[in-house]
Amino acid sequence: MPYLGSEDTVRELRRALSNPNIQSDPLRYRNAILKVIRAMSQGLDVAGLFSEMVKACATVDIVQKKLVYVFLCSYATLNPELSLLVINTLRKDCQDPNPMVRSLALRNMVNLRLPSVVEYVEQPLTAGLRDRAACVRRVAVLGWAKLHNLQPHSEIDGAVVNELYGLLRDPDPVVMVNCLRALEEILKEEGGVAINKPITHHLLNRLEELDVWGQCEVLRVLQRYRPQSENELFDILSLLDTSLVSPHPPVMAATLNLFLVLCPDLPAVSFAALERVRGPLLAACGSVSRETRFTALCHIQLLLRSLPGLMGAHYKRFFCGYAEPAYIKQRKMQVLVELVNDDNVAMLLDELKGYCTDVNTDTAQAAISAIGRIGRSYSDECLEILTGLLGLKQEHITSAVVQTMRDLVWVCPQCSDTVCSALEGCEETLQDSQGRQALLWLLAVYGERVSSAPYTLEGFIDGVRREASLGVKMELLTTAMRLFLCRPAETQDMLGRLLHYCIEEETDMCVRDQALLYYRLLHCGMEETHKVLGGRRSEPSLGVLIGRPAEPISQWAYSFNTLEPLKQGGVETEPTSRESPQHVTFDLNNDLSDALNCCQIEEVHSGSDGSSAEVLASSVAAPLSLSLSPALSPEEFERLWTQRLELHAEKGADELEGQDYVCLEERIRCPAIPHCSPQSLQAAMQLVNIQTLAFTPHLVTPWRVYLYTHTQLAHCGGAARRALIVGELLYVGEGGQSAGAVEKGEADEDVAGHVVGSHGREEEVKVTLKQRPRDEKALKGFLSILTAVLHTLSPESSSIHTQEHCTRLHSHKLNPL
Amino acid sequence: MQHLCFPRQSRGDLHFVHVRQGGLYWVATTTADSSPFTVIEFLNRLAALVKDYCGSLSEKSVQVNFALIYELLDEVVDYGYIQTTSSDVLKNFIQTEAVCSKPFSLFDLTNVGLFGAETQQSKVAPSSAATRPVQSSREQGGKSEIFVDVIERMSVVIGSDGVVMKTDVEGEIRVKCFMPSCSEMRIGLNEEFSIGKSQLRGYGASVRVDECSFHEAVRLDEFNSSRILRLCPSQGEQTVMQYQLSDELPSAPPFRLHPTIERDSGGRLLMYLKLRCDLPPKSAAINVCVTVPVPRGSVSVSQELSSPDQSAELKLQSRAIEWNIPRFAGGTQLSALFKLDASALGPAPLLEVGPVVLAFELPQLAVTGLQIRFLRLSPVQPGPSQRWIRYVTHSDSYVIRV
């Protein structure tokens, strides 16, 4: 961007540069050139001085040379013809006895970036590779890479490549690393420099001569190496062990990255490496440079996805400093949420509470939502804080609290009582649309429990004309409808007014269409409306029992030590389905969501066989029907389940009379089940109305799934008998079979002697079920459905295996406990 | 606003990574998905190099020394690849002399004694002494000097009941060397210095840190026996040792606060703060700034402070009272009474007060107790040379809940 008056400046500079008096005085000449460079840095267009600067190039003063080269490299592409004049001077400099002059000339000759000078450059570059001085060789090696970049389609000169490979053995470490870099660029199309065993070992042996940057480069290139034997692999790893705890974060990160790439099949080694870097990573979190702190925090978040316990003891290191910028505080809070446990929860919440009144509203809101996340495991303590915050009557705090409560209630329906009583009076403080939308959602779902709900709603409906937010209007319509379903007398009038306004006066098509839809729905009668609008109140896939599953390292290893983890918003800490109920509110129809799940499952298994849908369909068509309502909360499930285990433990003693339980243990052959992803398993189960409550992480043994359903068997007598089934699927894995049996202990013993198929026990999933009240026919029906689902999901299983399972009811199966 | 922004932006395939040092943004662009640790560490190192070569880091010094910085960049990075960042290697290549930008400051005048009295005998090096370019030592005029700084940053959280909930100290020993002929130096630490939690400690005044790491140039052959670090210092600044200590400080935290907050009949908020400094009586904290967040709607404050050199004012933007104490001697206590007028207080204003944050500097004191016993240079320096050992503890984040 040329400044005004740049012509005057350029003219003045030209006069100074061509003044013979100045030219004869080295100091004054250098100062004149300095002025040109200054003008250039400030954005002035000084391209017109090119020929004067070319003349100034021929000098013995190195500082002046350097300045001129800065100028020439910036403007050479604009003046390719004039630039050729410099080549002679540069080529002469390449013969200079002073190595500094030689390297300077060689570097800048290539930096001119002119395709026309290539022919003049090749000879000095070849000579440069064999120069005595290391600094010239460094420049020459990289020069070849630049040259290749200048003519990307030219043929690669085999002799040069060979020479570069030879220079990997150069005594100067920087020359060696530059060779790697140059070969990577030149041989890009062949996949980069060849990393074979001798080169790898050579590089590893010279690692400690290199500086931080060279080490990082070598470690990155070595990621492509595949050790030929386990012994070699461990030799390499032990050699790298010191780099893993390097005080320099770049070396530490590059080494860990190499570890993760080299041993994807040795999780124990990878986990040990993660433990090793804990110290250096924590140190980086306390670094003076806040950018380093931030980067370290982002990477700790990655590590925690696989090793949730990694930083447990060090949670205090993640307390926010007062003066830290908001982006660091938010990351720290995200980490703190992951570290919460019974011992530190009080301390952590106390700390987070302090951040809720932060001057920075983003920080305050992040703290509030962090408390909400902890509330999924420690709801009472967190709700107390959240309701306390409502007392402050501050706009942004109230809004964040209401949104947090909405998200909390969605996964923890047991919190709803407290939330409902806290909601009264919030609407006065709420200003922003996000907060009001959350309030409306809560009123829609728990309207019958909030006594003032109709009044609040009336306030909203009266103000609908002034309402600017589309989201609030849509939410308002749904809320008015759902509230009408449970409290028709109080809301009929206002619903009428709202629908009238939205249909007659509203200009936005989305709102109008939705109003029309609801209006017509009401015409179909209350029952139909109920069916459509009576959506879910809580997330169906509650994972509270085991918490967030630890992911395998491979899930994130590819993004480790890249810019990816630094992305705004951070790593996605959980599957979207659990994020917020907001996205599900319009997904009101259960059938619809089931249909979606169905699509999903077919997509997942489109590679296997086409019969999956049929099998599922046939199992659903059995006289037995399964249903998910009433929903079972995780706490309830846990209670029922542990009760079952206790009973089991006591079973040798007195038989408990009067209980209507039945327990069943069963083995189903379905080899690939534990390899199928939790999402597809869950989707498949939901398709036949079996709810999965909790999973162990993917590919972890022993692998467990907890599930429940209600069976309903149509009896000839007319009245259907309903029973609740809770169950566990257990797969102890190939290697861990014996260990698993010990761990399972007593529960496993009574089947230990049981004869199973000729394939042994390796590929079986153990199913433990408990039904109340007892209904064996339904239980067997359920088992066959479950078996069908599992077989459908494991692609290797063939139809022959379907019936090849051995059933064994407990000895006391016929005498209810 | 920039100051709060995120250290990475991207535009299509091009990523911008920046760090902030010395009030300047140092930006790198990268197309490949390169290591963020490397890019950020490099930018920090580059800033440190520029500081070493220009003497100080500011917009002014960058403007004055643009030629030097071009030259530096040319040697440090070639074709996007980092070549070297070692100041020992670079000093052979860098030819341009730094232009010193010496801002006129009244503070510098304090070093001039009355009637030209000898000020060099003062035991404390002037704080500006170390801000000079490395290369000036090459000339005759430059004094050969060496500075060894022990710098600690503490972050503390004290609960409302006065219980210390967290203490963290991050410390480092930094050497600034302007002594071209120095080939080796030995730094002796406290003999009773120990690393790690598990080590048994005697009853003596032991100094302990949890974790400790050293610059790769440091040789530790005498460290285990007599706690001596040996190194060949390169010109300019380098961090020789970094250490860190959590939760167990050898002494009590330096400040305690006893607040009394109530509402008076006129709806005003009365805050009576008693602040105690528990440092040893000989030392003192300087530049203490106490920040007390106040409720929304606060309009003005009237104050009663215990001495005239203190000051306090209400910052509406950050919604806090800032109480400045230039010097706070150990073993003393200060008090302040703030009466806060508010236009519209929320229903629970007392909840909105706090937590109180202190920022301070403790000169000549390392809270971990780390000391440098001796500093020996070899070969023995001819002519006048000066060795400075300085200690300072900064507050990183000192929070007292109320």
Q: What is the 3-state secondary structure (H, E, C) of chain B?
A: CHHHCCCEEEECCEEEEEEEECCEEEEEEECCCCCHHHHHHHHHHHHHHHHHHHCCCCHHHHHHCHHHHHHHHHHHEECCEECCCCHHHHCCCCCCCCCCCCCCCHHHHCCCCHHHCCCCCCCCCCCCCCCCCHHHHHCCCCCEEEEEEEEEEEEEEECCCCCEEEEEEEEEEEEEEECCCCCEEEEEECCCEEECCCCCCCCCCCEEECEEEECCCCECCCHHHHCEEEECCCCEEEEEEEEEEECCCCCCCCEEEEEEEEECCCCCEEEEEEEEECCCCCCEEEEEEEEEECCCCEEEEEEEECCCCCEEEEECCCCEEEEEEEEEECCCEEEEEEEEEECCCCCCHHHHCCCEEEEEEEECCCCCCCCEEEEEEECCCCCCEEEEEEEEEEEEEEEECC
Put simply, the answer to whether B351 touches A146 (Cβ < 8 Å) is no
- Residues of chain B contacting A323 with CB distance shorter than 8 Å: 359, 396-397
Q: What is the model's pLDDT at position B216?
A: 81
| pLDDT per position as a tens digit, A756-782 | 333 444 567 778 887 777 777 777 778
d(CA A315, CA A368): 18
A347 touches chain B (CB under 8 A): yes
* pTM tops 0.90, yes or no: no
A320 touches chain B (CB under 8 A): yes
Q: Could you tell me whether strands B207-209 and B193-195 are parallel, antiparallel, or unpaired per DSSP bridges?
A: parallel
What is the 8-class DSSP label of residue A730? E
Question: If you average pLDDT over residues A440-451, what whole number do you get?
Answer: 89
Q: Is the pLDDT of residue B323 over 90?
A: yes
- Residue A8's φ and ψ, nearest 5 degrees, are -60, -45
- A580, HSE (Cβ side, Cα atoms, 13 Å): 14
| pLDDT per position as a tens digit, B2-14 | 333 456 667 777 8
Q: Is the pLDDT of residue B115 over 50?
A: no
Q: Could you tell me whether strands B164-178 and B236-246 are parallel, antiparallel, or unpaired per DSSP bridges?
A: antiparallel
d(CA A211, CA B85): 9
Confidence tier at B26 by pLDDT (50, 70, 90) = very high
d(CA A491, CA A461): 11
B361 touches chain A (CB under 8 A): no
Question: If you average pLDDT over residues A101-115, what whole number do you get?
Answer: 91
Confidence tier at A571 by pLDDT (50, 70, 90) = very low
Q: What is the model's pLDDT at position A646?
A: 58
Q: Is the pLDDT of residue A73 over 70?
A: yes
CB-count burial class (<10 Å; 0-12, 13-18, 19+) for A84: middle
B1 touches chain A (CB under 8 A): no
Among candidate residues A796, A672, A791, the one with its CA nearest the CA of residue A734: A672
Q: Looking at A49-58, A384-393, A569-578, A618-627, which range is the least confident one?
A: A569-578
Q: What is the model's pLDDT at position A539?
A: 67
Q: What is the model's pLDDT at position A42?
A: 85
- B149, HSE (Cβ side, Cα atoms, 13 Å): 23
Question: If you average pLDDT over residues A465-472, what whole number do you get?
Answer: 90
Q: What is the model's pLDDT at position A476?
A: 93
Put simply, the answer to whether A41 touches B66 (Cβ < 8 Å) is yes
Q: What is the model's pLDDT at position B382?
A: 67
- Residues of chain B contacting A70 with CB distance shorter than 8 Å: 70, 74
CA of B3: which chain A residue's CA is closest?
A: A325
Mean pLDDT of chain A: 79
Put simply, the answer to whether B67 touches A67 (Cβ < 8 Å) is yes
d(CA A747, CA A128): 76
Please report, as a single letter, which amino acid is at residue A711.
T
Among A residues 158-197, those touching chain B with beta carbons less than 8 Å apart: 174, 178, 181
Confidence tier at A733 by pLDDT (50, 70, 90) = low
Confidence tier at A472 by pLDDT (50, 70, 90) = very high
Q: Dmax over Cα atoms in chain B, in whole Å?
A: 74
Nearest by CB to residue B79, choosing from A142, A351, A391, is A142
Contacts of A534 (CB under 8 A, 6+ apart): A485, A588
Share of chain A above pLDDT 70, in %: 78
Smallest CA–CA separation between B247 and chain A, in Å? 9
State how far the alpha carbon of B128 is from the alpha carbons of A631, B104, B174, B363, in Å: 71, 12, 16, 15
Q: Is the pLDDT of residue A573 over 80?
A: no
CB-count burial class (<10 Å; 0-12, 13-18, 19+) for B265: exposed
Smallest CA–CA separation between A336 and chain B, in Å? 15
Put simply, the answer to whether A392 touches B40 (Cβ < 8 Å) is no
Q: What is the model's pLDDT at position A649?
A: 52
| pLDDT per position as a tens digit, B41-99 | 999 999 999 998 888 889 889 988 999 999 999 999 999 999 999 888 888 888 888 87
Question: If you average pLDDT over residues B16-38, what whole number do you get?
Answer: 89
More confident residue, A808 or B187: B187
Question: If you average pLDDT over residues A95-102, what whole number do you get?
Answer: 93
More confident residue, A257 or A626: A257
d(CA A538, CA A408): 9
**Structure-block tokens of residue A785:** 């459905």
Q: Render A46-101 in DSSP notation, one character per residue.
A: -GGGHHHHHHHTS-S-HHHHHHHHHHHHHHGGG-HHHHHHHHHHHHHHTT-SSHHH
| pLDDT per position as a tens digit, A298-323 | 999 999 989 888 888 889 899 998 88
CA of A143: which chain B residue's CA is closest?
A: B79
Among candidate residues A594, A598, A611, A586, the one with its CA nearest the CA of residue A794: A611
d(CA A288, CA A296): 12
Contacts of A108 (CB under 8 A, 6+ apart): A69, A72, A73, A90
Q: How many CB atoms are located within 10 Å of the residue B39 CB?
A: 24
Q: Is the pLDDT of residue B384 over 90?
A: no
More confident residue, A573 or A139: A139
**CA geometry: angle at A361 spanning A356 and A365, to 5°?**
50
What SS3 class is residue A534? coil
What SS3 class is residue A325? coil
Q: Is the pLDDT of residue A814 over 50?
A: no
State how far the alpha carbon of A483 is from the alpha carbons of A65, A443, A668, in Å: 81, 8, 47
- Residues of chain B contacting A315 with CB distance shorter than 8 Å: none
Q: How many CB atoms are located within 10 Å of the residue A767 CB?
A: 22
Smallest CA–CA separation between B113 and chain A, in Å? 36
Q: What is the model's pLDDT at position B265?
A: 77
Question: If you average pLDDT over residues A634-657, what whole number do you get?
Answer: 60
Q: What is the model's pLDDT at position A602?
A: 38
d(CA A325, CA B3): 8
**Structure-block tokens of residue B242:** 């970094």
Question: Helices H, strands E: what count in chain A?
Answer: 37, 7
**Structure-block tokens of residue A750:** 């009574």
From the candidates A68, A147, A295, A317, which should be mutated to test the interface with B, based on the most B CB atoms within 10 A? A295
| pLDDT per position as a tens digit, B190-205 | 888 888 765 555 555 5
Q: What is the model's pLDDT at position A711?
A: 76
Q: What is the model's pLDDT at position A756?
A: 37
- Residues of chain A contacting B357 with CB distance shorter than 8 Å: 322
Mean pLDDT of chain B: 81
Q: Looking at A188-192, B104-108, B259-263, B316-320, which range is the least confident one?
A: B104-108
d(CA B149, CA B338): 39
**Structure-block tokens of residue B285:** 């904290």
CB-count burial class (<10 Å; 0-12, 13-18, 19+) for A636: middle
Nearest by CB to residue B352, choosing from A107, A286, A357, is A357
Confidence tier at A575 by pLDDT (50, 70, 90) = very low
Nearest by CB to residue B74, choosing from A66, A138, A250, is A66
Cα dihedral B127, B133, B134, B140, rounded to 10, equals -100
Contacts of B266 (CB under 8 A, 6+ apart): none
From the candidates A221, A563, A564, A567, which should be mutated to test the interface with B, based on the most B CB atoms within 10 A? A563
Confidence tier at A623 by pLDDT (50, 70, 90) = low
d(CA A152, CA A163): 20
Put simply, the answer to whether A66 touches B95 (Cβ < 8 Å) is yes
Q: Judge whether A703 and A552 are in contact, CB under 8 Å.
A: no
Q: Is the pLDDT of residue A155 over 90?
A: no
Q: What is the model's pLDDT at position A813?
A: 35
What is the 8-class DSSP label of residue A807? E
What is the 8-class DSSP label of residue A432? S
Q: What is the model's pLDDT at position A278?
A: 92
Share of chain A above pLDDT 90, in %: 37
| pLDDT per position as a tens digit, A382-419 | 999 999 999 888 889 999 999 999 999 888 888 888 88
Q: Is the pLDDT of residue A135 over 90?
A: yes
| pLDDT per position as a tens digit, A287-300 | 889 999 999 999 99
Q: What is the model's pLDDT at position A594?
A: 41
d(CA A404, CA A434): 11
CA of A67: which chain B residue's CA is closest?
A: B67
Q: What is the model's pLDDT at position B7?
A: 65
